[in-house]
Amino acid sequence: MVLRLLKSQPLGSESDEDCLSEPRSVADPLRTLTTRAATGEPAAEQTLLVAVGPSMLRVVRRILGTRHPEVQDVCQEAAVALLSALPRFTGQCTVLHFACRVAVLTAMNARRRASHRGSGTFSDLAQEVEDDGLSPAEMAEAARRRAVLRQLLDELPWPQAEALGLHVVLGYTVDETANAVGAGPNTVRSRLRRALAALRGRINADSNLLEVIGARHD
């Protein structure tokens, strides 16, 4: 059921920007629906998953890789996690931002579980084919950058990986990341600094990683 809801809208029906920018002055159209879903109302839960499912799916694919064999399972896991977390949602961000954060953390946890099992993941270098308009060489290079970033997220201590994932994958600002993780902005800046310091050797060895990380510190 959850997977069917996540697939009920085409992946291209919304821009990737839908969960990358936090509206400042527009009322959240999903807030009332989310309040109803948080009480366990089945119709509200289903409608909410239809609304946020495509964005959550895109986020999971960014973390795992487009053709990772567990994408569908992790999407279902993220949807269940979102519904479970709704009673604790305090409105510190839009509902869509909250859903995408749940998807990021669920996918990162899935990668770490796979790493601990020793099962590994597909190589994104050969699997990612979603960069329309790029040459084959550019597509391969973009896929390689994503693969390295995903590996780094697996290796970092969890607080640093969480901050980096939200900052890089979802485009959260330092303040937005702080609100999401329940930490102060200075703590988030410190986590990002330590994460980037730990990656510095790898970044210096591969200048293309600078494009991925972005170094967007406030």
* pLDDT at 21 exceeding the cut of 70: no
* pLDDT at 42 exceeding the cut of 90: yes
The class that CATH gives domain 1-122 is mainly alpha
Specify the pTM. Answer: 0.72
The closest alpha carbon to 65, from 25, 114, 19, belongs to 114
Most trustworthy range by pLDDT among 17-21, 111-115, 120-124, 204-208: 111-115
- Residue 115 near residue 64 (C-beta atoms within 8 A): no
Q: Whose structure tokens read 């967007």?
A: 216
- Residue 1 near residue 50 (C-beta atoms within 8 A): no
The pLDDT of residue 77: 96
The pLDDT of residue 10: 37
| Residue 87 DSSP one-character state | G
The pLDDT of residue 101: 92
> Which tokens is 142 given?
């973009």
In single-letter form, the type of residue at position 28 comes to: D
What residues have CB less than 8 Å from 161, skipping those under 6 apart?
108, 153, 154, 195
- Residue 174 near residue 188 (C-beta atoms within 8 A): yes
Q: Which range (6-10, 21-25, 60-64) has the least confidence?
A: 6-10
* pLDDT at 17 exceeding the cut of 60: no
Is the CATH number of domain 123-218 1.10.10.10? yes
What's the CA gap between 203 and 190, in Å, rounded? 18
- Stretch 109-124: mean pLDDT: 64
* pLDDT at 9 exceeding the cut of 70: no
What's the CA gap between 28 and 24, in Å, rounded? 10
The pLDDT of residue 122: 41
Extents of the domains making up the chain: 1-122, 123-218
Q: Which range (9-13, 51-55, 78-82, 136-140) has the least confidence?
A: 9-13
